[in-house]
Amino acid sequence: MKSPLKAVVALAAAGALVLSAGCTARSDTPADDVSTEANTGTETAEFTVAFVPKLQGIPYFEAMNTGGQAAEADIPGLTWLYQGPTEADPAKQADIVRSLIQQKVDVLIVAPNDPDSLAPVLEEAKAAGIKVATADTDAPNSVRDVFVNQATAEGLGTTIAETLATAMGGSGTAAIVSCGETAENLNSWIAVEEATFASQYPDIKLLPTVYAGEDQAKATEMATDLMNANPDLTGLIGQCTTSAPGVAQAVKDAGKIGTVFTTGLGTPQAMLPYLEDGSSSGSVLWDVEGLGYLAAWAGAQLYYGNSFEATQTVGDLQGVTWDAATKTLLLGPPTVFTKDNAAQYDY
């Protein structure tokens, strides 16, 4: 996806798509003219796709940014803007979104900290003529045109539950250390995990979920408290990229490697030492850079007013599916990082 030739081919393919499909469904949108022009090669439209992460500076969103920058290099005319709050605060995030509306970006993609409180702000963006999308976390009750989904709750929740259940030998007591209490994506994965344990691993007892915020130290504390309070606890799930290393560290500090097993959503670089010493049995995630790339690509499609195929290949990403009913673009099945493959990823 980094070669210019591929980009040209991809653009030509996108152009063909516009010419064939664009005239019927979307012929009333002025964007069509722009895209046709761009694809005949006479002129490339310059447009800005802004992505607002939940917070800046954590490895997860930085990896998404890297993917977005790769798309910027591949897609002519695309300017990728990455700007988020320095803490996962809904109000600060809304301020940034408002300032981007003022700057009149063309496409706005947000990973909302609080989907409900952000919905009216997204409405303001749409009223200002900006195409609106969500990525990473959805705001289902908003005006967004597309949700760029990293994985289905079904796929992730089951993979996490299965990874932990296998490590635990199919029985015992487990607990989930989650992060933001209102984070829609985390909560939907937790629901699937609970259902998977209940239906497939009835011998695994799940304790009530605790919430550490996006705070590693707090996740470590809570995991330690859970182990101390429940001597029979043998499984821990770190539900987000800050709590996954947090719970593994707690197991390591307590000297319980091999007795208490952990898994969770962790970035490969952060999880590598824990995968190597056995305090983490496997980290479940998706291709984060690919998600950033897909988000930027989707932004470009929105700008040109293109529609999506049921299944498509985007750059190097194969099997990207589109669900028209929920207006969701899906990256694909999750990846499980182990001590054997984690070192290959540089995020």
> Which residues are at the interface with other proteins (CB under 8 A)?
55-59, 62, 86-87, 181, 207-208, 210-212, 214-217, 220-222, 224-226, 228-231, 242, 245-246, 248-249, 252-255, 269-270, 272-274
Closest CA relative to residue 346, chosen from 6, 55, 70: 70
Distance CA 141, CA 119 (A): 7
CB-nearer residue toward other proteins: 129 or 208: 208
CB-nearer residue toward other proteins: 32 or 184: 184
190 contacts 207 by C-beta, under 8 angstroms: no
CB of 61 to other proteins, least distance (A): 9
CB-nearer residue toward other proteins: 76 or 273: 273
CB of 89 to other proteins, least distance (A): 10
CB of 180 to other proteins, least distance (A): 11
CB of 125 to other proteins, least distance (A): 25
Distance CA 307, CA 324 (A): 10
Distance CA 189, CA 195 (A): 10
Closest CA relative to residue 149, chosen from 326, 1, 339, 346: 326
CB-nearer residue toward other proteins: 144 or 252: 252
Distance CA 330, CA 322 (A): 6
265 contacts 239 by C-beta, under 8 angstroms: yes
CB of 115 to other proteins, least distance (A): 19
110 contacts 84 by C-beta, under 8 angstroms: no
CB of 217 to other proteins, least distance (A): 6
Looking at residue 207, what DSSP letter applies?
A: P
DSSP letters, 248-260, are HHHHHHTT-BTTB
CB-nearer residue toward other proteins: 44 or 69: 69
CB-nearer residue toward other proteins: 226 or 314: 226
